[in-house]
Structure 1
Amino acid sequence: MRGRSDILELAILGLLHETPMHGYELRKRLNVLLGSFRALSYGSLYPALKSLAQRGMIVGSDATTTPPPHALSGKRARIVYELTADGKEHFAEILASSGPTTWEDEHFDVRFAFFAQTDAETRLRILEGRRTRLAERLDSVRQSAARTRERLDEYTLELQRHGLEQVEREVRWLDGLIDNERGTRRARTEDTGRPTGSANADDADASQH
C-alpha cells in the first residue's frame, strides 16, 4: 500500500462493500472510521473516488429523482457510489494481506475496523505483528528514557511516561485479543476434529445409566 491514499481507498472500499452510499454520507462514515484527527475534506475524498472509478473499482450513478416543476433549476445531482465486481475482488485481496504495513499505526486502525470481514488466520497474523512492533517500540522508548532521564525536565519526563503507559495499555489490549483469537481457533479445530455423532453417543450412554 502506498500510504495515506491507500488507507483512504481501503476505507472507501470497505464502507461501500457494506452498502452503496453517496459522497456526503460516505464522508461522514469515513470521519467516524478514521477519527476526528484525520477528518476528511471533500478535496481528498473526491479525487480518491475518481481514482477508484477510473480503475473500475467503483461506479457512480445519479440517484436524484426528477425534481418537481417548482424546484430550482441547476440542482446538483447526488451520485451514489457502489463497488463493482473488480472492486469487491480487490477489497478481498487487501483483507487477505497481512504484511508489515498492516501493523503500522494508521493502517492497523483501518484494517481492524474490517476484522469482521477478515479470516481468522489473517486477523491473528496482523494482531501478532502489531504486538511485536509495539513491543519493539516499548523497548526503544524505555532504553531512551533510561539514558536521558537525568537531562529532562519534569514535564518532558511526564510526557515520556504518558507515552509509555499508552503503549503498555495497547500491548495488554492486544494480548487479550490474541488470546481470544487463539482460543476461538482452538475451539473450532477441536470441534472439526471431533467424530460425527460422538455427542449423540455420549448422550445415549448417559441415558442408559
Structure 2
Amino acid sequence: MSLLRYIDLIYLYVMTKRADILEFAVLGMLGDGPLHGYELRKRLDTVLGPFRTLSFGSLYPCLRRIEQRGLITQVTVTPAIDSNAPALSGKRARVVYALTGEGKEAFEHWVNEAGPEAWEDEGFAAHLAFFGRTEARVRVRILEGRRSRLEERVAMLRESMKRQRESVDAYTLELQNHGLDRAEHEVRWLNELITTERKNAEVAQQSSTA
C-alpha cells in the first residue's frame, strides 16, 4: 500500500468517526424537542465548540443522512398570526427537525456505548454533554477510559519534553508546558468526577437495600 493511500484511509476513518459523533449529538439535541437548523447548530456549538467548528456545510448533510435512515423527520411549523396584524405581516412557515421513535432508540443505544471513541477529545465532549441520559456504570467506564487516555498523553508529553528540552526554543517549550498543564488538570478533574460517581452509586445501592 502506498503512503498516499494509507493517508487517505486514515483521513476517511477520522472523518467517518467525526460524522458519527455529529449524528449522535444531533439525535441527543433533538431528544429535548424539535429544532430548526439554526437553533440546532447553536446548541451543537455549545457541546462540540471546544473541539471543532461546526458549519451548515457539515450539519445539513448530516441531517439528510439520518433523515434517510428514518431517525429524524422534518415538520413544517406555521407561527401563529396576530389577528390584529396587517394581512402581509404574517411570519413564514419554518421547517424543524424532530426525533422519530427509531431515532430515540438509536440515541439510547449510542449514549450507553463506552468504547474507545468515547474517550477521545471530541467523542468524550459529546458523551459528557449527555451524561444525564447515560447509565451510571457507563458514565464511570467512560470517565475511567478518558482518564487512562489522558494519563498516556501526560506520560508522552513528559518524555517528549525531557528529550527535546535542549533542542527546542523557549516558546515551543512553553507550548509543551501548557499542553502538559491542561492534561494534568483534566486528569485531576476526572478523578473528582469518578469519585463522585462511585459515591453516588454507593448511596443508591444502600438506599435500595434499606
Query: Into which bin does the TM-score normalised by the smaller protein fall?
Result: 0.7 to 0.9
SS for the counterpart of 1:59 is strand
Is the Cα–Cα contact under 8 Å of residues 51 and 122 in structure 2 kept in the other structure? no
Whole-angstrom distance in 2 between the partners of 1:36 and 1:153 = 28
Q: CA deviation at 1:77?
A: 4.4
SS for the counterpart of 2:73 is strand
- Aligned residue in 2 for 1:70: 88
Distance 1:182 1:65, change over 3 A: closer
Please, which of 160, 165, 173 is the counterpart of residue 149 of structure 1?
165
Give the number of aligned pairs: 192
Structure 1 residue 176 and structure 2 residue 192: aligned?
A: yes
Q: CA deviation at 1:181?
A: 0.3
After TM superposition, the structure 1 stretch with the greater mean CA deviation from structure 2, 43-52 or 176-185, is: 43-52
Distance 1:47 1:24, change over 3 A: same
- Aligned residue in 1 for 2:137: 121
Is the Cα–Cα contact under 8 Å of residues 51 and 121 in structure 2 kept in the other structure? no
SS for the counterpart of 2:88 is coil
RMSD after superposition: 2.0
Q: Letter of the aligned partner of 1:85 in structure 2?
A: G
Computing the radius of gyration over CA atoms, which structure comes out larger, 1 or 2?
1
- Aligned residue in 1 for 2:174: 158
| CA deviation map 1:142-177 (0-9, x unaligned) | 111111111111111111111110000000000000
Q: Which runs of 5+ in 1 are unaligned?
A: 195-209
Taking structure 2 as the reference length, the TM-score comes to 0.85
- Aligned residue in 1 for 2:42: 28
Q: CA deviation at 1:38?
A: 2.7
Taking structure 1 as the reference length, the TM-score comes to 0.85
Is the Cα–Cα contact under 8 Å of residues 116 and 145 in structure 2 kept in the other structure? yes
- Aligned residue in 2 for 1:90: 106
Whole-angstrom distance in 1 between the partners of 2:50 and 2:184 = 24
Q: CA deviation at 1:59?
A: 0.5
Is the Cα–Cα contact under 8 Å of residues 21 and 123 in structure 2 kept in the other structure? yes
- Aligned residue in 1 for 2:10: none
Q: CA deviation at 1:21?
A: 0.8
Whole-angstrom distance in 2 between the partners of 1:174 and 1:191 = 26
Q: Which runs of 5+ in 2 are unaligned?
A: 1-12
- Aligned residue in 2 for 1:198: none
Identity of aligned residues (%): 51
Whole-angstrom distance in 1 between the partners of 2:133 and 2:77 = 28
Whole-angstrom distance in 2 between the partners of 1:107 and 1:36 = 12
- Aligned residue in 2 for 1:200: none
Please, which of 1, 19, 39 is the counterpart of residue 5 of structure 1?
19
Is the Cα–Cα contact under 8 Å of residues 75 and 95 in structure 2 kept in the other structure? yes
Please, which of 66, 75, 94 is the counterpart of residue 52 of structure 1?
66
- Aligned residue in 1 for 2:148: 132
Whole-angstrom distance in 2 between the partners of 1:6 and 1:13 = 11
Q: CA deviation at 1:119?
A: 0.8
| CA deviation map 1:69-126 (0-9, x unaligned) | 5369xx9741111110000000000011000110000000010000011010000000
After TM superposition, the structure 1 stretch with the greater mean CA deviation from structure 2, 4-13 or 121-130, is: 4-13
| CA deviation map 1:2-37 (0-9, x unaligned) | 311111111110000011111121111112222166
